[in-house]
Structure 1
Amino acid sequence: MSAPGQGSWQPDPEGRYEYRWFDGQQWTDQVSQQGQVLRSPLGAPPQSGLGAAPAQPAHQAQPVGQAQPLGGADGFAGITGELVDGRFSEKEAKAIANQNTKMLRVRLGEPFMARQGSMVAYQGNVDFAFEGGGASKFIKKALTGEGLPLMRCAGQGDVFLAERAYDVHLLNLTNSGLSISGKNVLAFSSSLDWNIERVRGGSVVAGGLFNTTLRGTGWVALTTDGPPVVLNAAEAPTFADTNAVVAWSANLQTQLKTSFKAGALIGRGSGEAVQVSFYGNGFVIVQPSEGVQVVAAQ
């Protein structure tokens, strides 16, 4: 039996269904039969079919173990509806996981790094502190324009992160490296070493390509402006627009390729003037967006 205030599925005390929801103080009218959540008050007359006649189906069929309504069967402080019926409740499955496609939830154990301003909510006792990365990284950011404003998150609780409603993707690194555009970094574990490095084969004059490199063992959450494509660079030489490429395996060989076509040399906004070429065994992540385009004044 659950402790007071803690709800859970329990075998139906009447035996008419597989499970009945106990809210920590009393049995409710929510029951589960064959993976479907229904409503049937205690003492309702039996009927053929599932074993009893449900008063009405729940708003959304939910397998056993998924999030339940915030306020139990009677709603949250007298409020009912899809926003409080459980489908948007906090996901509890893993310490670090996507809350949904646009939001990351991190349960604090070890401190982690996050983009400044990316916290949209938190629960518990959490401390946020500026993370400068040292004088060398500060100078590199000033000289290269590769911006990665970070904050260190520490304490106990859950932190929810998002950035401009971009899609959030979670990767795990095991003694490996990832080169990622600073604007696409959402958060990463403090166990990873990070630095600002010039893309091999490039220079400030040739395009000014500097990326943030993460190395070691840990997790990293990155964002993309839309669903990305992951290309296998080992299959063939791979080229990507400098404004659309998000990240790649740090072991890949890179080279900048400049297009000399007449229509492609009109500044950064054209998008096709400079591409990055990739060679080797690894992957390249490309988003379906070239970022905010700069339109010249007429």
Structure 2
Amino acid sequence: MQSPLFAYTEVQTQDRYALQNGQLLRVALTGQDDVLARKGAMVAYQGLMEFDGEYRSSGQRRARAHTGEGLDLMRVSGQGTVYLANLAQYVHVVDVDRDGLTVDSAYVLAMDSTLHHEVVAVDSQYGISGTGKYQLIITGTGKVALMTSGQPLMMRVTPDTYVSADADAIVAWSSSLRVQMQAQTYSSPVRRRRGSTGEGWELSFLGQGFALVQPSEMMPPQGAEIGAGMAAQFGMGQHGAHGQNRGNAWS
């Protein structure tokens, strides 16, 4: 059999994490170094591998129930190679250092099992109930694989140059940064969007570090609804995240 498909062979590398291509992650395991991956993210594997549900502490369960933020993970162990992907999202491997990484859990594909993660709150400067944003802070030393809808933009934040990003487009940032959440509006009811621009909540970052932004304010198909109106804008309905996207319908 002959086909151009045979050009898409396995990546030959000694690295633990390697991109098979821009949308497929290859993780090599030696039997002593488990990896935590997004549930259902395995697309193929070689060798003797085991997949187990990852235990969540009572604190993590309470945080998930209260905030909706958290990771649904499986533990991958054994000797061999596992390939991970999620809805053909672009994959990026990040080294987490002592400063830590703050990230939206929706964009985490995999991470070293030695890393620690917990839910933190990014509060609205207006102090309005329900307008804050919850994220995950990942600490320790290791690697985490993030996903974006399209090729992202990495923005440097310095004391002289602060960065603002749409709250639905920001993927991750250095945990050392100071963060403020605000609404772009001139009207007294801050829930109302600014004029007819469609711009709403944004995060402003100050300090020294980086902010990662994707070229999308939603993550299809979990976070998007075909059509127009409020349901489409906020990921409601059959195809939206709040509708659980039953049957992975996207047609």
* Structure with the greater alpha carbon radius of gyration: 1
* Corresponding pairs, count: 216
Matched, 1:89 2:22: no
Letter in 2 for 1:95: R
Whole-angstrom distance in 1 between the partners of 2:27 and 2:131: 36
1:289 to 206, 216, 219: 216
Query: What TM-score do the two structures reach when normalised by structure 1?
Result: 0.67
Shift of 1:174: 2.8
Q: What does residue 216 of structure 1 align with?
A: 140
Whole-angstrom distance in 2 between the partners of 1:199 and 1:158: 37
Whole-angstrom distance in 1 between the partners of 2:55 and 2:73: 7
TM alignment of 1:160-175, pairs within 5 A: 160-175=83-98
Contact 1:144–1:208 at 8 Å: present in 2 too?
Answer: no
Contact 1:271–1:290 at 8 Å: present in 2 too?
Answer: no
Shift of 1:176: 2.9
Whole-angstrom distance in 2 between the partners of 1:128 and 1:293: 30
> Where does structure 2 lack aligned partners over 5 or more consecutive residues?
232-251
Contact 1:187–1:221 at 8 Å: present in 2 too?
Answer: yes
TM alignment of 1:1-298, pairs within 5 A: 79-84=1-6, 87-93=7-13, 94-109=15-30, 110-199=33-122, 205=129, 207-234=131-158, 235-261=160-186, 265=192, 272-291=199-218, 292-293=223-224, 295-296=229-230
Distance of aligned partners of 1:152 and 1:232 in 2 relative to their CA distance in 1, 3 Å threshold? same
Contact 1:184–1:246 at 8 Å: present in 2 too?
Answer: yes
4+ residue runs over 6 A deviation:
none
Q: C-alpha root-mean-square deviation of aligned residues, in Å?
A: 2.3
Contact 1:206–1:256 at 8 Å: present in 2 too?
Answer: no
Shift of 1:296: 3.2
Deviations 1:110-138 (A, max 9, x none): 00111111111111111111113211011
> Where does structure 1 lack aligned partners over 5 or more consecutive residues?
1-78
Among all aligned residue pairs of Structure 1 and Structure 2, give the percentage whose two residues are the same amino acid: 36
Deviations 1:107-164 (A, max 9, x none): 1130011111111111111111111321101110111011421111111111100111
Letter in 2 for 1:265: R
Query: What TM-score do the two structures reach when normalised by structure 2?
Result: 0.79
Whole-angstrom distance in 1 between the partners of 2:128 and 2:60: 17
Distance of aligned partners of 1:121 and 1:278 in 2 relative to their CA distance in 1, 3 Å threshold? same
Distance of aligned partners of 1:271 and 1:243 in 2 relative to their CA distance in 1, 3 Å threshold? farther
Contact 2:121–2:133 at 8 Å: present in 1 too?
Answer: yes
Distance of aligned partners of 1:201 and 1:282 in 2 relative to their CA distance in 1, 3 Å threshold? farther
Distance of aligned partners of 1:264 and 1:209 in 2 relative to their CA distance in 1, 3 Å threshold? closer
Whole-angstrom distance in 1 between the partners of 2:198 and 2:12: 41
Shift of 1:293: 4.4
Q: Give the number of the structure with larger relative contact order, counting CA–CA contacts within 8 Å between residues 6 or more apart.
A: 2
SS at the partner of 2:215?
coil
SS at the partner of 2:100?
strand
Distance of aligned partners of 1:293 and 1:271 in 2 relative to their CA distance in 1, 3 Å threshold? farther
Shift of 1:264: 7.3
Contact 1:242–1:271 at 8 Å: present in 2 too?
Answer: no
Shift of 1:285: 0.2
Contact 1:104–1:162 at 8 Å: present in 2 too?
Answer: yes
